[in-house]
Structures are given as C-alpha cells and as structure tokens.
Amino acid sequence: MLKKADRTGCVSGNKVDKSEMFRFHTEGTGAPFIDEAPVVMDCTVDDIYETEGFESFICKIDSVYAEESVLNEAGKIDYSTLKPVLFEMPTYEYLRTGDVIGKCMNLDQ
C-alpha cells in the first residue's frame, strides 16, 4: 500500500481525483475505509494546530476496525505483527515500527 499512499499524499485533490486510487467502502461517520488496510481508525477532528506551511489535526478516535490477523489474544492490535509505517519530516522518509525496545516505567530496573 505504501506506493499508492505516497502518491495519494503527494498530489493535490484540487488537481487529481484521488477517489480511484484505493478501493474503499464507508462505515461509521461515512468516511472512506480503504479495503486493503489491515487497520482503519474512524476519527473526528477536535482541533487544528496551524504552523507556517502546515496544519496538524488533533483527532478523537471514534472507532477502530482491524483484521483478525493483526490482533493479539486479547483482541488488541499487535503492533509487532502490524508494523505500522510512519512518515518522518523533514527527511521525508517512511519508517517501519513495531519492535519493542523497552517497557514503560521499567527502564531503570
């Protein structure tokens, strides 16, 4: 999905119809859910933080839809299986996450 997601993020919706880039359906709030995405979070924008040249959206997660293949025994998302991708600025690089590097409140022991 990364190649298509990169293309989607690099073109303006004012110039290109992005609705054909991914197969999707709607749920919850009516937002499009990408069919091939293993996890989709349906969110509502609570606030917008504006800086020069960028807008950052502060969102509330309304619901989460996940394929069983990325869930653990407790029914929670297993990030070591999912290995989500992050986009990092200013290097414009994609980073794969998912490795556990420590347990919170146990690093000094």
The alpha-helical segments, DSSP class H, found in the chain are 2-10, 79-82
Could you identify the residue written with the tokens 């054909």?
A: 20
**52/29 Cα distance (integer angstroms):** 30
Tens of pLDDT along 48-78?
999 998 899 999 999 899 999 999 999 999 9
What parts of the chain have a pLDDT lower than 70? 109
